[in-house]
C-alpha cells in the first residue's frame, strides 16, 4: 500500500488514494491473467477473483467521500461510491456462478475471469467520471470487453456446436451496433467540445446556461441517442436480444445487471451534471424513448418461446421503466431512477441465475416447455423463480412494486400523465409473460424426469436474492432514503 | 485558409456515409470498415474544432479515439475469423440463427 503511494507521489498525482478499489481490481485482473497462463487450477482462479473483489469492496468503506483526483478527471463522491459498491456486490455474486456452468458446458477458460474484471474496471471508471474523457474511456473499456465475453462460447462438445455459432453471431451484432453507438457518442462529444470548448461536465453546463446554441443541443441529443443505444432502449435495441441469447448465461447476467446499471448511473450523472439547464429538452427525448421501450419490449416479449430471450426483452422493457423517471427532471424523479436501478440488480440477478443453474442440466434449453411442472420436481427453484417473476412484474410485497410506484409518483408529480398511463398499462401487459412462467411451473405435469445438479452455494445465492427482494418489498425505507440522499447530492452539485 | 465549417461538413458527410454503409452493405467486413469510417469522421471533426477554438484538447481526444478504434477492429476481425471458420462465409445472410 505505502509502496504504491510512494511510487505515485513520485509521479505527482494528488489524492491518488481514492483510486484504491480500482487499483485492486486492476491488480487482481493481472494476477488472474498470469495464473491462467501457468496453472489451470479452476478453483484457484475463481478464488483469486472473488478475494480480489472482496478486498476492493472492503476498501470502498475506507474512502472519504467527495474527492477529485487525476487533476479533476476523476470524482469519488457518494454517488459513485454507492454504484461501485453495488457493482462489486453483483459481480461477486455473478462470478460465484461461473465455474460450474462453464465446466458443465465444456467452455471453461480463465479469460472469463480477467475479462470480467477489466469490464468491471471500465464500469467503475464510468460511474465516477466528471469529464467526457473519463466517460469515454470507461464506457469503451467496458463495452469492448463485453463484446469479447459474449463471443466466448467456444466448445469442443459436438452437441453444443450450435450455441458456439450463436454466441459469435450475437457478439458480432453487438459489436457492429455498439460500434455505431460509440461513433455517435464520439460525434456528440466532438459537437459539445466545438460548442463549449471544454470536456468538463460543469463547464459544459455553464456554457449551456449562457448560450444554448444549436451545436450544444445537437450534441446533447446525439449523446442521449448513443447512451440509449448502450442501455438497449427502443428503437436501438436490436443488438440486445441476440447478444443476450447468444452469450453464455452467466455473461448474460453480467450484461443485464452490471453493464446496465453502470450505464444508467452514467446517464444520470451526465444528464444532471452536464445539462441541468436544458433539462426540458432531454426529458422530452427520454420520455419518448421510454414509452417506446416499454411498449415494444413488452409486446415482443409476449411471443417468445425461450425464457432467456423473453427475459432479454423484459430487460428492454425495464430500460423503459427506469428511463421513464428521467422524463420528470426533479429530485423525486432522480430518486426513483436510482431506487429502481438499485433494486433491479437483485431481481435480475435472481431471474438469470435460475436460468444459469437449470441450464447445467443436459438437454435443458430454457424454453417454456422445459419449465413445465418445475414445481413438482424442484419446489425451491420454482418458489424463488415465482418471487423474481412477481418482482419483475411489480406485485407487492416484492420490491418491484415500489420501483414502479416511485417512477409513477415522480411522473404524476411533474404532471406527465400520458407516460404514467403508458407505464401502468404496459405493466399490466407484462403480466402476460411473467405469469405464464409461473403458470407453466405450477399448473402442468412434469414432461420428463430430470434431476437437477444444484449445490449449496447456488441454492443460497437464490434464497439470498429472493429474501432481499421480499425484505426490500416490505421495508423499502433504507434504499429509498439512500436514493433520495444521492439525488439531492447530485442536484446540490449543479453549477458547482 | 479554408474555413473550419468545410471540415465539419466533410466529417458529417463521412459519418452519414458510414451509417449508410452499416445499413446497406451485405459483407460483414465492409460493415466493420464502415464503423471505422464513422470514428475517423469524428477525428476530422475534432481537429476542425481545434482549429476554430485554437486549443489542443480535441487533438488529444483524437488519440483516444484512434486507440479505441484499433481495439474494436481487433475484436471485430477476431469475431469475423471465428464466424468464417464455422460457416465458411462472411455475408450478412449467415447471421440469421438468432431471430424473433
- The 3-class SS string of A187-228 reads HHHHHHHHHHCCCEHHHHHHHHHHCCCHHHHHHHHHHHHHHH
Would you call A169 an interface residue with chain B, using a CB distance cutoff of 8 Å? Answer: yes
Q: What is the pLDDT of residue A12?
A: 67
* Tens-place pLDDT, residues B2-45: 888 899 999 999 999 999 999 999 899 999 999 999 999 999 99
Longest dimension (CA), chain A: 69
- Paired residues of A179 in beta bridges: none
| Contact between chains at B80 and A172 (C-beta distance less than 8 A) | yes
Residues 42-61 of B with CB under 8 A from A: 42, 45-46, 48-49, 52-53, 55, 57-58, 61
CATH number at residue B36: 1.10.287.3510
Kindly list the residues from chain B whose CB atom is less than 8 angstroms away from the CB atom of residue A299: none
Instruction: State in Å, rounded, how far the first CA of chain B is from the last one.
Output: 54
**Angle of the A161-196 helix axis to the A214-230 helix axis, nearest 10:** 160
* Tens-place pLDDT, residues A239-292: 999 999 999 999 999 999 999 999 999 999 999 999 988 888 899 999 999 999
Question: Which residue range forms the structural domain that includes residue B69?
Answer: 4-92
- Paired residues of B91 in beta bridges: B27
Q: A384, A349 in Cβ contact below 8 A? A: no
- Residue B66 lies inside a defined structural domain of this protein: yes
The DSSP code for A278 is: G
Q: What is the pLDDT of residue A268?
A: 94
* Tens-place pLDDT, residues B50-61: 989 998 999 999
- Residue B99 lies inside a defined structural domain of this protein: no
Q: Is the pLDDT of residue B100 over 70?
A: no
Q: A313, A241 in Cβ contact below 8 A? A: yes
Kindly list the residues from chain B whose CB atom is less than 8 angstroms away from the CB atom of residue A162: 97
Would you call B84 an interface residue with chain A, using a CB distance cutoff of 8 Å? Answer: no
- Residue B58 lies inside a defined structural domain of this protein: yes
The domains of chain A are located at 15-492
Give how many domains chain B has, as a whole number: 1
- Paired residues of A75 in beta bridges: A68
Partner-chain residue, chosen from A180, A187, A193, that has the shortest CB–CB distance to B22: A180
Report d(CA A315, CA A372) in Å as an integer.
23
Chain CA centroid to CA A293, Å: 16
- Paired residues of A76 in beta bridges: A67
* Tens-place pLDDT, residues A94-126: 999 999 999 888 887 888 999 999 999 999 999
Q: Which residues contact A397 (CB under 8 A, 6 or more apart)?
A: A470, A473, A474
* Tens-place pLDDT, residues A8-62: 665 667 777 888 999 999 999 999 999 989 888 888 999 999 999 999 999 999 8
* Tens-place pLDDT, residues A316-349: 999 999 999 999 999 999 999 999 999 999 999 9
Amino acid at each position: 500500500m505505502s509502496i504504491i503511494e510512494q511510487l505515485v507521489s513520485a509521479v505527482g498525482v494528488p489524492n491518488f488514494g481514492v483510486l484504491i478499489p480500482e487499483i485492486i481490481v486492476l491488480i487482481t485482473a493481472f494476477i488472474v491473467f498470469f495464473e491462467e497462463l501457468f496453472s489451470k487450477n479452476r478453483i484457484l482462479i475463481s478464488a483469486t477473483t472473488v478475494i480480489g473483489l472482496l478486498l476492493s469492496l472492503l476498501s470502498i468503506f475506507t474512502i472519504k467521500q467527495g474527492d477529485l483526483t487525476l487533476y479533476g478527471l476523476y470524482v469519488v463522491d457518494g454517488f459513485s461510491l454507492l454504484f461501485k459498491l453495488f457493482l462489486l456486490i453483483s459481480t461477486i455474486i455473478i462470478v460465484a456462478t461461473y465455474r460450474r456452468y462453464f465446466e458443465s458446458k465444456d467452455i471453461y477458460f480463465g479469460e472469463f475471469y480477467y475479462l470480467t474484471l477489466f469490464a468491471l474496471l471500465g464500469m467503475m471508471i464510468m460511474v465516477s467520471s466528471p469529464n467526457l474523457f473519463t466517460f469515454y474511456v470507461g464506457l469503451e473499456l467496458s463495452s469492448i470487453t463485453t463484446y469479447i465475453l459474449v463471443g466466448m462460447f467456444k466448445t469442443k462438445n459436438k452437441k453444443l456446436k450450435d450455441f458456439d455459432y450463436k454466441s459469435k453471431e450475437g457478439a458480432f451484432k453487438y459489436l457492429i451496433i455498439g460500434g455505431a453507438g460509440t461513433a455517435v457518442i464520439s460525434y456528440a462529444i466532438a459537437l459539445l467540445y466545438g460548442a463549449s470548448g471544454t470536456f468538463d461536465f460543469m463547464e459544459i453546463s455553464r456554457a449551456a446556461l449562457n448560450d444554448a446554441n444549436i451545436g450544444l443541443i445537437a450534441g446533447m441529443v446525439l449523446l442521449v441517442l448513443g447512451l440509449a443505444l448502450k442501455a438497449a432502449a427502443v428503437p436501438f435495441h436490436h443488438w440486445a436480444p441476440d447478444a443476450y441469447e447468444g452469450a453464455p448465461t452467466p455473461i448474460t447476467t453480467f450484461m443485464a445487471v452490471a453493464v446496465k446499471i453502470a450505464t444508467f448511473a452514467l446517464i444520470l450523472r451526465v444528464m444532471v451534471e452536464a445539462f441541468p439547464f436544458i433539462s426540458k429538452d432531454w426529458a422530452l427525448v427520454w420520455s419518448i424513448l421510454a414509452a417506446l421501450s416499454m411498449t415494444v419490449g413488452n409486446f415482443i416479449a409476449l411471443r417468445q418461446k425461450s425464457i432467456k430471450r423473453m427475459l432479454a426483452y423484459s430487460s428492454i422493457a425495464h430500460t423503459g421503466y427506469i428511463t421513464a423517471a428521467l422524463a420528470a427532471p426533479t429530485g423525486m424523479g432522480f430518486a426513483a431512477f436510482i431506487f429502481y436501478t438499485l433494486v433491479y440488480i437483485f431481481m435480475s440477478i435472481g431471474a438469470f441465475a435460475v436460468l444459469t443453474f437449470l441450464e447445467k442440466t443436459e438437454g435443458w434449453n430454457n424454453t417454456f416447455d422445459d419449465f413445465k411442472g418445475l414445481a413438482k420436481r424442484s419446489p425451491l427453484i420454482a418458489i424463488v423463480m415465482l418471487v423474481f417473476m412477481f418482482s419483475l412484474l411489480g406485485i407487492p410485497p416484492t420490491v418491484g412494486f415500489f420501483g414502479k410506484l416511485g417512477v409513477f409518483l415522480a411522473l404524476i408529480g411533474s404532471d406527465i400523465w400520458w407516460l404514467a398511463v403508458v407505464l401502468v398499462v404496459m405493466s399490466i401487459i407484462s403480466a402476460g409473460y411473467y405469469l405464464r412462467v409461473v403458470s407453466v411451473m405450477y399448473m402442468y405435469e412434469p414432461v420428463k424426469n430430470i434431476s437437477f445438479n444444484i449445490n449449496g452455494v447456488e441454492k443460497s445465492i437464490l434464497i439470498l436474492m429472493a429474501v432481499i427482494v421480499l425484505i426490500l418489498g416490505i421495508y423499502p425505507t433504507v434504499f429509498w432514503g439512500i436514493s433520495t440522499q444521492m439525488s439531492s447530492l447530485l442536484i446540490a452539485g449543479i453549477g458547482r | 485558409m479554408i474555413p473550419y465549417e468545410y471540415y465539419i461538413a466533410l466529417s458529417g458527410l463521412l459519418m452519414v456515409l458510414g451509417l449508410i454503409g452499416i445499413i446497406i452493405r451485405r459483407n460483414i467486413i465492409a460493415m466493420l470498415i464502415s464503423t471505422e469510417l464513422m470514428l475517423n469522421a469524428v477525428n476530422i471533426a475534432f481537429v476542425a474544432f481545434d482549429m476554430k477554438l485554437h486549443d489542443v484538447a480535441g487533438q488529444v481526444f483524437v488519440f483516444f479515439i484512434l486507440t479505441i478504434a484499433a481495439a474494436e477492429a481487433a475484436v471485430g476481425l477476431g469475431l469475423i475469423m471465428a464466424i468464417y471458420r464455422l460457416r465458411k462465409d462472411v455475408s450478412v445472410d449467415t447471421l440469421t440463427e438468432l431471430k424473433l
